[in-house]
Amino acid sequence: MPVGRHSASGRRTSVRSSSRRRRDPARAGLRVEPVTPSTESRRDHVRRRSHGDVLERARMARRRKHVVMGCGLTVLIAIVAAAVFGSVWVGGLNKRMADSATISDEVTEVLKAAEPERRDDPFYMLIMGVDARELGEESRSDTLIVARIDPPQNRVTMLSIPRDTRVDIPGHGTTKINAAHAYGGPALAIETVSELTGLPISHYAEVNFAGFKQIVDALGGVTVDVPEDIYDMKAANHVEAAARLEQGVQYLDGAHALTFVRSRQFPEGDLQRIRNQQTFFKAVLVEMQKPANLLRLPSAIEAVADAMYTDLSVGDMLRIANQMKGMDPDDLETVTMPGTPQTIGGGSYIVIDDDAFSEMLARIEAGERAEPLPEEPPTLLPGDVTVTVRNGAGIEGVASEAAAALTGSGFAVGEVGNADQFVYDETLVVYSGEDSSAADLVVSKLDRGRVVQSRGMYSFSTDVLVVVGKDWRATEAATGQ
């Protein structure tokens, strides 16, 4: 019998017999008439029934009013239930998540020195996905993620370390980082990642593939935008029904989600798989913010307890979840250690780009984005754009009209004259080079014209050339300008 559950036979029950509570089966469902005759008039009867209907409608209105509040209180109810049955349920969950005493001592020793000074300070956690049939089995880590959890800023940064990263494992020499877990379990994996990154890892969590499926199923599945078709029997643990995923938005159960996060059958191999894992984590965050999924909280906690080894207690996880409540999915940043694939001694490795990695780690430690957002180009204004205007229609005055319209919109108009030929049926807005933004701005302000790249066919020294076509006057009449 699982820890933390009561057997019905272990409870003492007491049943009071009462003749008033017994019902004769032969009389069940029969209408019982009053013992004494009623003296109620028909008018009083109608009035009483009407009053009763009003009260019933009021009760229903109050009930509807509180439905939304009830959804919001679901988490609170779950926590209260945990408090009521805390000595059994929460204690049992803690025990199921704990590792054996020997490994726990080793892990604790590695983590203890990295504990943050205050409870609400940002901290680092190593998340490991292990390719093992049994949780705790010595095997290679298939996934390594260092998460920086920042409650004050309500942000999480997840740094993925490729499994083939070439590193020095203490006591075992230079090899792939995923071997650390096989050599020394989570303790050596944590030590290796700490030395590699220089980050103080104070918590860890370890999940195997079978447990991953249980957790996803307990959440009721996850909606993911699959970037391309996948067919991978190995990633699906040779389960044909779960091996195939189609490109596009899919609702994945645990088996298909495992295929999605495990598959390496891509041109970029493990790097694309890491991107899929990062996509999946963001999708989980979105899924958990749906009100309907609050009802799955108890079963999700049960699945986590059975599928995860971690130094965190249930209380710790609830506290962290409460601190991060309402986190925007945009505040979950997922990045990958910078490196390049190389073949060394016949083995395939990811070799770290030391300079780029050092810069990334410095930003993470400072609480900044690991990868700064690209700077938006400065806003282009009409006054920043110089324009040449030429009459290509052969209609008197159209070039001057176009120049006046451009000047009125704020553009810096230079030369105004005739084109070499009056053969242009439509107005063209011509630009040179690769950037069409200035020409696009001109078209947006004139509300007419077709953007064309010069490709050496037009001669002008300004940013943009406007060749006024025969459609100019027709457009003027149509728009009433």
DSSP string, 141-173: EEEEEEEEEETTTTEEEEEE--TTBEEEETTTE
CA atoms within 13 A on the CB side of 210: 9
Q: Are residues 65 and 185 in the same domain?
A: no
Q: Which domain holds residue 63?
A: 50-84
- Is 372 contained in some domain? no
Q: Are residues 343 and 438 in the same domain?
A: no
pLDDT at 260 over 60: yes
The residue assigned the tokens 């100019």 is 472
Q: Are residues 302 and 238 in the same domain?
A: yes
pLDDT more than 90, % of the chain? 43
Q: Are residues 336 and 415 in the same domain?
A: no
**Length, in residues, of the chain:** 481
Return the closest-CA partner of residue 357 out of 371, 368, 343, 344: 371
Looking up residue 468, the CATH number of its domain turns out to be 3.30.70.2390
* Count of the separate structural domains present in the chain: 3
208-254 residue pLDDT tens = 777 788 888 888 889 999 999 999 998 888 899 999 999 999 999 99
Distances (CA, A) of 57 to 54, 64, 278: 5, 11, 50
Asked if residue 307 lies in contact with residue 215, where contact means CB atoms within 8 angstroms, the answer is yes
Q: Are residues 396 and 430 in the same domain?
A: yes
| DSSP 8-class letter at 386 | E
Q: Are residues 69 and 111 in the same domain?
A: no
Return the closest-CA partner of residue 207 out of 312, 116, 110: 312
Q: 145 vs 215, which has greater pLDDT?
A: 145
- Is 207 contained in some domain? yes
Task: Tell me the pTM.
Answer: 0.59
What pLDDT, on the 0 to 100 scale, is given for residue 199? 94
What pLDDT, on the 0 to 100 scale, is given for residue 270? 80
- Is 35 contained in some domain? no
- Is 112 contained in some domain? yes
- Is 42 contained in some domain? no
What pLDDT, on the 0 to 100 scale, is given for residue 1? 41
Asked if residue 276 lies in contact with residue 260, where contact means CB atoms within 8 angstroms, the answer is yes
Query: In whole numbers, what is the pLDDT of the chain averaged over residues?
Result: 78
Q: Are residues 202 and 221 in the same domain?
A: yes
